Structure 1
Amino acid sequence: MKKVILNLAVTLDGFIEGPNGEIDWCIMDDDMNFDAFIESIDTMFYGRVSYDAWGNFQPEENTAPAEKSIWQAIHSKNKFVFSGKERPNEKATWITTDLADRVAEIKKQGGKDIWLYGGAKLIKTFIDLGLIDVYKISVHPTVLGKGKPLFEDLKERIGLKLTGTRVFRSGVVELTYEAEKNNVQ
C-alpha cells in the first residue's frame, strides 16, 4: 500500500515559513539527492493555495538545469487538490468531501508513495486525522523566532518511531519518522 509522506523543511525552532510566508531560509544542497525522493513518489497532495502557487509553477528560463529537471519531474506526478470548492482542472483531481475516505482509496491503488506537499492548513488536517505515514522533516540551521509552526494546536499526541537520519554539508539534518500504528487511521 502507498504511504503518505510529509517531506518538509522546518527551521530549528519549528517553523515551516516566516511571519510573512517567507521560505528564503530553505537550503537545497546537491548532496540531499532530492531527485531520489521525487522518483520514489507518483502522487502529490496539495491544498488549494499551495496548488495555485506551485502546482503548475514553471521556473524562469535562466534557472539551473537541475532545478528545471526537478520541476519537470514534479509536474509528471498525479496531483490531487483538497479544497472546500471544486474547480475542474485537467492537470489535477479536486477532492472536496470525504477526505479520509478518498485518501484511503488512493493509498490502496498500486504504484509509488504519495508526497503530502502542503500547505499548512492541509498538513494540519492530515496530522489531526492521522493520515501521515512518514514524517521526513529537514531541520534547517535557521531560527526565525516567529512564523507558522509545523505542529500547532494538536488534538492529541503523535507517537513516532525514528527510522533514519541524514546530515548534509549545509548543516541541514533530515529526520525520518514513521507514525506508530495506533495513530494511522
Structure 2
Amino acid sequence: MRKIILDLAVTLDGFIEGPNGEIDWCIMDDDMDFDGFLVGIDAIFYGRVSYDAWGNFQPDATASKAEQKLWSAVHSKQKFVFSSEERNDRNATFIKSSIAEKVKEITSSAGKDIWLYGGAGLIKTFIDLGLIDIYRISVHPIVLGAGKPLFENLKDRIALKLIRTNVFKSGVVQLIYEKI
C-alpha cells in the first residue's frame, strides 16, 4: 500500500509560514536530496489554496537549471486537490467530499508513495483522520515568533517513532517519523 508522507518545512518555533503567509525563511540546500524524495513519489495531495499558489508554479526564465529541474519534477506528478469547490482542471483531480474513502482508494491503487503538500487546513484534516503514515519535518534555524503553526487544535495525540534524522549544512535538521 502506498504511504502518505507529510514533507514540510517548519521554523524552530513550529510555524509553517509567517504571519503574512511568508515562506522566505525556507532553505533548500543541495545536500537535502529533495530530488531523491521526488523520485519516491508519484502523486501530490494539495489543498485548494496551496494548489492555486504552487500547483502550476513556473520559475521565471532567470531561475537556475536546478530550480527549473525541481519544478519540472514536481509537475510531472499526479495531482489531487481537496477542495469544497469543483473545478475542471486538466492538471489535477479535484476531490470535494468523502476524503477518507477517496484517500483509501488512491493509496490502495498501484503506485509510489504520495506527498501531502498541504496547506495547513488539509494537513489538519489528514492528521485528524489518521491518514499520514510518515512525518518528514525539516526544522529550519529561524524563530518567527508568530505565524501559522503546524500542529494546532488537534483532536488526539499522535504517537510517532523516529526512524531517521538528517542534518544539513545550513543547520536545517530533518526529523522523519512514522506513525505507531
Taking structure 1 as the reference length, the TM-score comes to: 0.96
- Runs of 4+ in structure 1 over 2 Å off: none
User: What is aligned with 1:54?
Assistant: 54
1:88 Cα deviation from its structure 2 partner? 1.1
Letter in 2 for 1:139: V
Query: After superposition, what is the alpha-carbon deviation per residue over 1:105-160, rounded to whole angstroms, capped at 9, x for unaligned?
Result: 00011111000011111111111111100000000000011100000001010000
1:74 aligns to 2:74 (yes or no): yes
1:162 Cα deviation from its structure 2 partner? 0.3
SS in 2 for 1:156: coil
User: What is aligned with 1:11?
Assistant: 11
1:59 Cα deviation from its structure 2 partner? 0.4
SS in 2 for 1:145: coil
Question: Structure 2 CA distance, aligned partners of 1:80 and 1:24?
Answer: 26
Gaps of 5+ in 1: 181-185
Letter in 2 for 1:122: L
SS in 2 for 1:146: coil
User: What is aligned with 2:123?
Assistant: 123
RMSD of aligned C-alpha atoms?
0.5
Q: Within 5 Å, give how 1:87-166 maps onto structure 2.
A: 87-166=87-166
Query: After superposition, what is the alpha-carbon deviation per residue over 1:140-183, rounded to whole angstroms, capped at 9, x for unaligned?
Result: 00001110000000101000000000000000000000011xxx
1:51 Cα deviation from its structure 2 partner? 0.5
Query: After superposition, what is the alpha-carbon deviation per residue over 1:36-88, rounded to whole angstroms, capped at 9, x for unaligned?
Result: 00111000000000110111101000000001001001000000000001101
SS in 2 for 1:97: coil
User: What is aligned with 1:179?
Assistant: 179
User: What is aligned with 1:85?
Assistant: 85
1:28 Cα deviation from its structure 2 partner? 0.4
Question: Structure 1 CA distance, aligned partners of 2:28 and 2:48?
Answer: 25
Question: Structure 2 CA distance, aligned partners of 1:126 and 1:170?
Answer: 30
Question: Structure 1 CA distance, aligned partners of 2:55 and 2:89?
Answer: 11
SS in 2 for 1:10: strand
1:102 Cα deviation from its structure 2 partner? 0.3
